[in-house]
Amino acid sequence: MHTLGNQVLKKTVNMIEEALFGHQPPGRPFAGAWAPAMGSVDDRLDWSWPNARTMTTKATLLRSLSIAVNNRQSTTILNEPALTKTAERPITLKHESDELRWSKLMANAQTGDEADYRQLLSELTDVIYNFLCSRFGNHHFTEDCVQETLIAIHQARHTYDKHRPFRPWLFAIVRHKAIDILRKQSSRQRVTSQYKVEQEVLSQVSQQNEADNEIIRGHLLESLSEEHRDVLVLTKIIGFSVAETAEKLSISKSLVKVRVHRAIHKLKKMMEADQL
Amino acid sequence: MNKHESLISDLSSNLAPVSPPPNINRLAIAWFALSAIYVVAVTQLFGPIRPGAITQLSTEPRFLLETVLGVAAILWFSLLAFRSAIPAALTRQFAAAGLVLMALWLAQYVVGFISPALEPSKLGKRNYCYFETMVYSLPVILAGLFFVRRLYSLRPVRTAMSISLAAGMLPALYMQLACMYEPAHILAFHILPGLLMVGVGAGIAAWWRLRHPDFGKR
């Protein structure tokens, strides 16, 4: 069912893009040299996820397409035949064009240009969202983190030097905020109605794997060991207390705390080593 | 997405112009230079330097090497500390190089237990070199924290510790000229109080952050 759903959705998106951009790439519509040149839809929908069907909601689709429209100018440039010979070059060029544009927008924002600043933050929202989604999955945490990061960017905007590259500056803030929010998450334990349902699901052993797949999508979380991932997801993402987590996993509360601490430390190391 | 849009709208409305960041390397070098002048002046004010210390710099190459390594390590750490107050301005390699340089300098004194750069003697001994090192570095630390207060340090306490280490080592290094030369004395009465100032700086930053959560974050 998932495969069928993915195929239907791919075709739909493909048709819409064809209508928008007036061309269709040969062969696989979302792979090869064309995909990085687009640099938007394929990245954002991430078809490889086991639950892509559930993720590709109408909102996600529309957001992805709006980004694709925003990127239309760079897409046009990048789709020049000479530039699409290799898959790497368009990515580099797109990064460079983003880099230059963001740098310029931020320099204007420093002078008080509201329109440029609004445009910059709008573009960065998507970039940050996708960055976090690919690493942590799509949770409330991701949404919170995007907001906190935007505020941090606002507070730190005076430290951006237009002579330095923009991306390292941006992602240093994003990484720091992500870890910071994970650490602080315990102080505002929340169990949303969505996760109350999740709790019921978790209690049923037979369905636990399915629930895990829903929660764990980001490659950083996936690369953690199972014991670290379990405590992190339960305490920081779902929002269970340490005591509840200890009870669910049949371990002591102190062991939960130790594992959470180690898991965050590992995540921090992995994020620092993350090459963009 | 509506949440994000309303936040973006809030952040971008009535956007105040901000000054671009100062050249962080120049700022660090200026802080280092002013601090060095202050340390030399205040040390001279409370007592003369060891007789013949300046001459030894030209006649004893290893003593010169020790001193130059000290200056280089402290200058590097100053740059490191100020760079850490701006996101992504400090690379891991730069930080590692600073630590290596500092370790190399301090290793000279450990090697000095076996083969000292100068003949150990009590000539020029200052009675309160331990406290002098600590007291002289305090204004330097505060000045450093003052300079970075409007930047955006992702790890303010770590930034404060780096500043404090550079600040603490400045008088410690100058005591090499102003006080007696003996590796054990240098490590225990000059370097150790300099290192202790790292804790003091971290404490000041932590205390300040409790009162002003935006410290180091505009």
For A137-170, the pLDDT digits (tens) are: 766 778 888 988 999 999 999 999 988 899 999 9
A45: how many CB neighbours lie within 10 A of its CB? 20
CB of A51 closer than 8 Å to CB of A62: no
Q: How many CA atoms lie within 13 A of A13 on its CB side?
A: 28
Tell me the three state secondary structure of residue B119: coil
Position A3 scores a pLDDT of 53
Task: Give A199 or B147, the one with higher predicted confidence.
Answer: B147
Could you list the pLDDT tens digit for every one of the 218 residues in chain B?
567 888 898 898 888 899 888 899 999 999 999 999 999 999 999 989 999 999 999 999 999 999 999 999 999 999 999 999 999 999 989 999 999 999 999 999 999 999 999 999 899 999 999 999 999 999 999 999 999 988 888 889 999 999 999 999 999 999 999 999 999 999 999 999 999 999 999 999 888 888 776 655 54
Q: What's the rounded mean pLDDT across residues A93-106?
A: 83
Q: Quick one: pLDDT at residue B40?
A: 96
Kindly list the distances between the CA atom of residue A81 and the CA atoms of A85, A87, A196, B187, in Å, as whole numbers in the listed order. Answer: 7, 12, 52, 66
Across the interface, whether the CB atoms of A150 and B20 are under 8 A apart is answered no
CATH 1.10.10.10 residue spans of chain A: 189-272
pLDDT reading at A93 higher than 70: no
Closest chain B C-alpha to A27 CA, distance in angstroms = 33
Least confident of A199-208, A222-231, B45-54, B206-215: A199-208
Count CB neighbours of A208 within 10 A.
Answer: 12
Q: What's the confidence (pLDDT) of residue A272?
A: 75
Q: How many angstroms separate the CA atoms of B165 and B150, rounded?
A: 20
Which residues touch B137 (CB under 8 Å, ≥6 apart)? B39, B164, B167, B168, B170, B171, B172, B194, B197
Mean pLDDT of chain A: 67
User: A68 pLDDT exceeds 50?
Assistant: no
ipTM of this model? Answer: 0.83
Torsion sign (Cα): A273, A275, B4, B10 = positive
- Provide the 8-state DSSP code for A9: H
Domains in chain B: boundaries: 22-211
Give the list of residues 6+ apart from residue B98 with CB closer than 8 angstroms, or none.
B73, B76, B77, B79, B80
Chain B residues lying within 8 Å of A147, measured CB to CB: 3-4, 7
CA distance B87 to B93: 15
Report the candidate in B194, B183, B186, B174 with the shortest Cα–Cα distance to residue B46: B174
Distance from CA of A202 to the nearest CA of B (A): 29
CB neighbours of residue A111 within 10 Å? 13
- A99-119 mean pLDDT: 92
Query: Do the chains contact at B87 and A154, CB–CB below 8 Å?
Result: no
- Cα separation of A194 and A140, whole Å? 10
Query: pLDDT at position A26, please?
Result: 38
pLDDT in the model for residue A78: 39
Confidence of residue A41 (pLDDT cuts 50, 70, 90): very low
C-alpha of A247 from chain center: 31
CATH of domain A189-272: 1.10.10.10
- Say if the Cβ atoms of A168 and B18 lie within 8 Å: no
